[in-house]
Amino acid sequence: MPGTHAFPARGDDQDALTGELQHTLAALADVEFALQIQRERLDCWPGPREQKDRLAAQAETERQRRRAPLIRRLDALQARVIAMTLGNVLH
- 34-81 residue pLDDT tens: 999 999 999 999 999 999 999 999 999 999 999 999 999 999 999 999
3 is a domain residue:
no
Number of domains in the chain: 1
Residue at 52 is within a domain: yes
pTM score over 0.85: no
Whether pLDDT at 89 is above 80: no
Give the end-to-end CA distance of the chain in Å, rounded to a whole number: 15
> Residue 16 carries which DSSP code?
H
pLDDT given for residue 1 in this prediction: 41
Mean pLDDT in residue range 6-26: 82
The answer to whether position 75 is within a domain reads yes
Domain assignment present for 7: no
SS3 content of the chain, % helix, strand, coil (to 5): 85, 0, 15
Inside any domain, residue 77: yes
Say whether pLDDT at 9 is over 50. no
Give one word for 48, left, alpha or beta, with left for phi > 0 and alpha for psi -120 to 50.
beta
For residue 1, is it within any domain? no
Is 65 within a domain? yes
Residue 86, pLDDT score:
85
- 47 in any annotated domain: yes
Q: What is the mean pLDDT of the segment spanning 13-28?
A: 94
Domain that holds residue 28: 12-90
Radius of gyration of the chain (CA): 19
